[in-house]
Amino acid sequence: MPPIRNSTGCSVPFDAPLTVELRPSRRLLAWILAVHAAAAVAVLQADLPPAWRLAALLALLGLAAAEGHGHRRQWAGTRLRIDGRGGWYREGPDGTHPLALLAPPVQFAGLLLLEVRTAPRARRRRWLLVRDMMDREHFRRLCVRARMDAEPRPVREGRPDDTSHAS
C-alpha cells in the first residue's frame, strides 16, 4: 500500500522531526578556491616588484589553505536537528546547541542562507548551506522548515516611501 500523502503531495508531514547530517560542500570549496585563483592571477598581472608579488602569492596560498581547512572543519561531524515543535539544534563534536532562526531564510539555486543565533547572548551568524552538503530530499525539507519556523521581523511604522517631514 502506498504511503498516505497530504495536500502538498508529500508523504512526510512538514512538522515531523528532521535530522540532517551535514558534510562539507565540494561546490562551495571549489568556489572558494576559484576566487583565490582569480586573485592570484590578478597579483601575477599586477605591476609589483618581484618580492611583493611573491609575498602576495604566499599570502593568498595561506588564505586559501586556511579557508579550505576551516570550511571542512566547520561542518565535519555536524548534524542539524529540528524537533516536531519548531526547536532547532546544532549537534557537533562540541555538544548540542539550541539555535534561533532570526530572519526568514534566503533560498536561491541550491543555496540556503540562514541567520541564526546559537545562544541567547551569542552573536548572529549567517550560515550558507549548499545542496550538496546533504541529500536533495533533506535540503528540500530543511528549506520548507526554515521558512515555516523563522521568526518574523518587526514591521516599522509608516510607509517606506513616505518622504514628508514635519517642520
The predicted-structure confidence for 34-57, as pLDDT tens digits, reads as follows 999 999 999 999 998 999 999 999
Q: Do residues 45 and 113 both lie within one domain?
A: no
pTM: 0.70
In a domain, 167, yes or no: no
Sequence-distant (≥ 6) Cβ neighbours of residue 128 within 8 angstroms: 28, 111, 112, 113
pLDDT at site 10 = 52
In a domain, 165, yes or no: no
Q: Do residues 129 and 96 both lie within one domain?
A: yes
Q: Which residues of the chain have pLDDT under 50?
A: 1-8, 155-156, 158-167
In a domain, 162, yes or no: no
Q: Do residues 71 and 81 both lie within one domain?
A: no
Domain residue limits at 54: 24-75
For 113, the 3-state DSSP assignment is strand
Give the residue ranges of DSSP H helices in 3-104. 26-45, 50-75
C-alpha cell recorded at residue 98: 539550541
Type and span of the H or E element at 146: helix 136-149
